[in-house]
Structure formats: C-alpha cells, structure tokens
C-alpha cells in the first residue's frame, strides 16, 4: 500500500559513477517506490564540476533526505560530498552500508551525518522516512543535541523473496550503459569465515541468526525474465559471494535459466562447491567464466591466516576440470598477507604455473575495520594501532607498512609475471622462474594491457563481452562530457 500523499518524501541518492550500479541502493529505492516516495540519483563523475551539479539537483529536486551507501573504500569520498551538501542546504543526511555497520561510532560523530543506518536497510529506510519520531528506529543511530541515540539491530530478512526487485531504472535512466552487463544477486551472506572479509565480522554481529540466505529459483528467474524483457542486457554478472554453495539449488537454477533466460553469465565461488556435474550444468546453462578465491599459493598461509582450507591438490584438480568443461577461470590472489615472505614465491609460483588459470585476478591486501585480519595484522607487525584507527576513518592505504614498501619492487615483478603466466608455455614460465628472468618482463602499463585483452579472444562469447565493454567505456565518456555540459548550462543560468 502506498503511503498517504501528504507523507510522501523525496530521497536523493548520491553515488560514484565508476562504482557501477549499486544493488543496495536499488533495493532501497524499490522499497521507497512501493510506498509512493520519490527517488532520484546523482552520479559523481569528477570533482571539477560536481558542486554546480549538486546545487542544481538540490534546487530542482528539493530532497527531504540525501543518502549514501558507504564502504571503506568510498568513505572519504562520501564524507567530502556529504559535507559539501550540508554547506549548500541543511538537509538530513543518511549514511548506510558495511562501513557504517563496522564503525558506527566513527561515522555518527561527523557533523554532516544525521543518521547512521546499521545492517540491512530495506525496512529501516521506510521507518526513517515516514516516522515522525526518528529516535526509536531499530538499526538507526541518531543525534539528540549532544547525545547519540544507539538503537538495537533488527533481525535479518530471512525470506529474500519478500523483497521487491531492485529499482534498476534509478540507475539506467542516469547511466544507460550499465544495463548491457547486468549485476544480479541470488543470495546474501557467505558460508565461509575468511579473515579478510566483512562477512566474518557480520556473522559475529548477527550471532545466532542464519547469515547465509537465498532467494528461491522461481523468484530469481522471475526477476531475470523482467530484466531480459525490459532492459535487454547482453550478459549477467552474478555477485553472490559463493554462487554454487547449494548443489540442489544450482541444478534447478541452471535448468530454468537455460529455458527462460539463455544469456551468458559469470560468477564468484569457491572450489569446494564445484565438481564435474555442477560444471556440466553451468556450461549447459550458459556460464562462460568463474572467478575463484585462492588468495595465496602457500597452503599454511591460506589455512592459518585466511582461514581457507582448500589444498593445492584440490585447487589444481578443480581448475583443470573447469578448463576442460570449456569455462574460463580467474584465480584471485592477494599480496602482502601477514607472515608472507618473498621467498615463499619460489615454490608458490611453481604451483601457479602448474595450475595455469585463464587469468589471475590480483589484489593488494585491503584491511577492513573489525575483521579478524586486523588482529592478525597487529599480531604480526603489519599494522600499528594508528593504522587501525586510520582505516576506520577510510584511509585505506594505512596498512602499507615499511616491510611492504621494502618488498614493493619484488612484489611488482611477481605481479607482472603472474599476468603473463597464462600466455606463456609451461616450460618457458619455469625457465623464467628458475633463472629469475621474469624480472625483465616489461612493466609498461600499455604493454601489460595485452594481458587484459587477450583472454577475450578465447571464445566468441568472451569477444562479444570485450566489445560490449569497450562500447560501454565510450558511452561512459559521453556521459562524463554531458555532466560537464550540465555545469556550463547551470553557470549560464546564474
């Protein structure tokens, strides 16, 4: 039922354009839409013209609330834009998201933040927008004078089928290029307790509740059919933390997906939830790529530091099976894990050469607030207490300690070598490793872009994905220029 006409509000979401579409924001917008509230989205493309665009949006839309979905990586940006919005007009500002849930004390202390929303926000945002008394809403921290009001958490949404489908129109009307490769989720939570991931922290926050939840196949396919009909995407990227965690569910999904959708898709998962039968079903349904988290070639570090218990033997076996099934495989690796030494890579690189995935997806360890990895970083000297406080403030590079800097040249060389391993023959890679000649592979950025392009020519599907991605970048550039024109028009009116 829609809210009464007199209580309808206007909610403005602000997000960074290069972060892509946010399913979190789209779910919140869908809830507000069901209640008859007006929503709008302002995308930030660059700093140089944003103030003028923000003034123009506030003047024309007249929002009652301005909302940000905040992760650690965008917290400093969101804080800067929220402060700017407050300077323009004193409109209530809402911060929600995983960083807020992890660091509510730090977030609510900001003068420009009126409400901090912890945990899931779908039910909370309705109460926050519609209730006159905003100091007694579960999941919300607010201010009353100098006092901070800390309300308790509400229970997790266990039946995800009850949620409305994400309001994709909010994003697609502002950035039509996003609809070509559509993000989609079928579950919330993760069955693992990886030390570097926010899921492990949230499981403790919601201790006793079922953290990993999944939509029914019928509900997921129903949304996919609507997306396919209305937006006509070329591909789906499934953002579940572990898509294949339920074999029976996957079996039913693959049959219905092939029958009703039949478009290419890729996803993230763990090798323990893959086998030949599942891979056969996924290939039949249209899967063209799988990204798996290995994180390190050193079993002891994977087990003791990451709390991932897959053996190298199993990883090698599964990657072979994935490739034989005709699906490309990306292998996630994290540099600078606690206790890691450069000498570890002598054997580690041999393992990676032997597994030979389609590509390596390479990361530098990012420390997230209140995760177990923070404690490990402190224990092994990778972090100081000051680093931990800085990370809570969104200073994501505070985990770069002196020993990481000492290793930086070697890490850069190994990082560069890993990019090229899938394209060189095994004997050549082993020869480069034995003689440390991988260090002379050019580290020129333009040259190394080849490693990002070549895998797209392994199949027709991948090639189409590449071409669509390039076209999207061209369209993105057009919208960036359009945002600059908005500034010029606004300045002329002034």
- Determine which of 127-136, 157-166, 265-274, 456-465 has the lowest per-residue pLDDT on average: 456-465
CA distance 139 to 132: 16
Indicate whether 401 pLDDT > 50: no
CA 142 from centre of chain: 27
Q: In this predicted model, what pLDDT tens digit does every residue of 179-222 receive, in sequence order?
A: 888 999 999 999 999 999 999 999 999 998 999 999 999 999 99
Whether 66 contacts 82, CB under 8 Å: yes
- Taking only the tens place, the pLDDT of each residue in 267-303 is 999 999 999 999 999 999 999 999 999 999 999 999 9
Report the pLDDT value the prediction gives residue 463, as an integer from 0 to 100.
65
Summarize the confidence of residues 224-235 as an average pLDDT: 94
Q: Are strands 187-188 and 235-238 parallel, antiparallel or unpaired?
A: unpaired
pLDDT at 176 exceeding the cut of 90: no
Q: What is the pLDDT of residue 386?
A: 92
The tokens for 379 are 């224990």
Cα 157–Cα 163–Cα 168 angle in degrees, nearest 5: 130
Instruction: Assign 18 a pLDDT band (cuts: 50, 70, 90).
Output: confident
Least confident span in 160-169, 305-314, 342-351, 402-411: 402-411
Q: Which residue has the higher pLDDT, 175 or 239?
A: 239
User: What pLDDT score does 396 carry?
Assistant: 78
- The pLDDT confidence band at residue 441, using thresholds 50, 70 and 90, is confident
Q: Which of 69, 25, 58 is nearest to 183 (CA)?
A: 25
- pLDDT band per the 50, 70, 90 thresholds, residue 445: confident
At residue 140 the predicted structure's pLDDT band, cuts being 50, 70 and 90, is very high
């Amino acid at each position: 039922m829609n809210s009464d006409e007199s209580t309808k509000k206007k909610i403005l979401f602000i997000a960074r354009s290069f972060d892509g579409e946010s399913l979190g924001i789209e779910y919140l917008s869908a809830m507000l839409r069901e209640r008859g509230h007006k929503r709008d989205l302002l995308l930030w493309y660059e700093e140089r013209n944003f103030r003028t665009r923000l003034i123009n949006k506030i003047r024309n839309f007249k929002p009652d609330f301005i909302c940000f979905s905040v992760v650690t990586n965008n917290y400093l940006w969101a804080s800067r834009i929220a402060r700017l919005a407050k300077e323009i007009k004193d409109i209530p500002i809402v911060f929600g998201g995983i960083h807020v849930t992890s660091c509510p004390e730090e977030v609510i202390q900001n003068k420009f933040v009126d409400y901090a929303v912890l945990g899931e926000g779908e039910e909370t945002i309705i109460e926050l927008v519609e209730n006159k008394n905003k100091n007694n809403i579960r999941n919300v921290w607010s201010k009353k004078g100098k006092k901070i009001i800390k309300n308790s958490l509400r229970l997790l949404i266990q039946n995800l089928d009850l949620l409305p489908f994400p309001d994709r129109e909010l994003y697609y009307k502002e950035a039509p290029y996003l609809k070509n490769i559509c993000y989609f989720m079928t579950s919330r939570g993760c069955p693992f307790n990886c030390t570097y991931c926010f899921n492990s922290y949230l499981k403790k926050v919601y201790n006793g509740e079922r953290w990993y939840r999944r939509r029914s196949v019928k509900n997921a396919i129903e949304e996919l059919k609507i997306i396919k009909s209305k937006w006509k995407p070329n591909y789906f990227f499934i953002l579940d933390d572990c898509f294949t965690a339920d074999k029976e569910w996957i079996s039913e999904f693959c049959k219905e997906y092939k029958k009703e959708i039949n478009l290419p898709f890729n996803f993230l998962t763990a090798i323990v939830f893959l086998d030949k039968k599942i891979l056969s079903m996924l290939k039949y349904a249209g899967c063209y790529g799988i990204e798996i988290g290995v994180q390190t070639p050193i079993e002891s570090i994977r087990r003791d530091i990451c709390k991932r218990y897959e053996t190298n033997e199993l990883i090698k076996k599964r990657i072979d099976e994935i490739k034989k099934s005709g699906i490309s495989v990306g292998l996630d690796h994290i540099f600078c894990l606690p206790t890691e030494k450069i000498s570890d890579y002598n054997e580690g690189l041999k393992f990676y050469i032997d597994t030979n995935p389609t590509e390596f997806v390479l990361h530098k360890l990012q420390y997230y607030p209140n995760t177990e990895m923070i404690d490990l970083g402190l224990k092994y000297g990778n972090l100081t207490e000051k680093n931990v406080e800085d990370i809570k403030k969104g200073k994501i590079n505070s985990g770069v300690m002196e020993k990481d800097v000492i290793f930086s040249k070697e890490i850069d060389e190994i990082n560069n070598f890993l990019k090229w391993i899938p394209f060189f023959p095994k004997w050549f890679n082993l020869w480069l490793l034995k003689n440390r000649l991988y260090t002379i592979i050019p580290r020129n950025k333009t040259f190394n872009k080849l490693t990002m392009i070549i895998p797209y020519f392994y199949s027709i599907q991948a090639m189409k994905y590449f071409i669509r991605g390039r076209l999207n970048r061209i369209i993105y550039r057009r919208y960036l220029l359009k945002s600059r024109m908005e500034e010029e028009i606004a300045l002329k009116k002034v």
